[in-house]
Structure 1
Amino acid sequence: MFSTKGRYALRVMIDLAQQDSDDFVPLKDIAERQDISKKYLEIIAKEMVRGKLIVGASGKHGGYRLVRRPEEYSVGEVIDLMEGTFAPVVCLACNAEECPRADKCKTLSMWKEFYEIEKEFFYNKKISDLL
């Protein structure tokens, strides 16, 4: 299950893409359009800036904008940044220690297959597909 953080980050990305502008979009405008708390969006936007999905500027004409074109962003990279790994089980997560039961595990191949399907789905879906 995805958290509000991941879902709201996608809504921010879509909102910024819909503006189709090189201008910075004030966060208060995004918050109003998306009916999301501006305070909560500030936390999300900071993470997205750190993850290099968007860029921010302060001041009178400040706000946020996309770094790339909407078709250059995958939904997967947004969710990955905000939610963490897509791995359905701990042993498939990045940097996971090798499971001592891996050679005997009857379910590992199923989890690997599911993981690949999930990643493929979200990484092949672009922000531009959601506009």
Structure 2
Amino acid sequence: MLIDLNRYQGDGYVSLKDVAQRENISKKYLEQIVPVLNRSGILCANRGYQGGYRLASPADQISVYDVLKATEGSLACVACLEEHAMPCERREFCPTLPVWKKFDELVKDYFSKITLQDMIQQQGEE
């Protein structure tokens, strides 16, 4: 959806109906994720005549990590690494925590380096 918006927004807003048709995605599904993306600052909305949605920032400034965090919430692979995790009494002695911390860092680092623009360029190369 975000790549479609980047492609068709021009100087205006794009309707969900148009995105749904072009991308073969349920409009109802798009209606569920749009508020989340709008609240997170990834999208801008405009109501009324010629209303719709557009990216709030250029595609090269929106990382895949930003989108995943907005839509999925925490990407932590174990509960103790979540943002507002309850303190774990085993944290100091947990033999697996360093492994999960490193994995968490790798995931964040990897997805933070990929932008929507990167995905658009890769799609164009294929």
* TM-score higher than 0.5: yes
Aligned to 1:27: 16
Gaps of 5+ in 1: 1-11
Aligned to 2:6: 17
1:95-128 per-residue CA deviation (whole Å, 9 max, x = no partner) reads 1122111121110000000000000011111010
Normalised to the residue count of structure 1, the TM-score between the two structures is 0.87
* Letter aligned with residue 84 of structure 2: N
Identity %: 39
* Residues 42-51 or 80-89, more deviating: 42-51
Gaps of 5+ in 2: 121-126
Shift >2 Å, 4+ stretches:
none
Structure 1 counterpart of 2:115, from 119, 126, 129: 126
**Mapped partners of 1:113, 1:39: distance in 2:** 37
Q: CA RMSD in A?
A: 1.1
Higher relative contact order (CA 8 A, sep 6+): 1
Displacement of 1:68 after TM fit? 0.7
Structure 2 counterpart of 1:85, from 74, 79, 86: 74
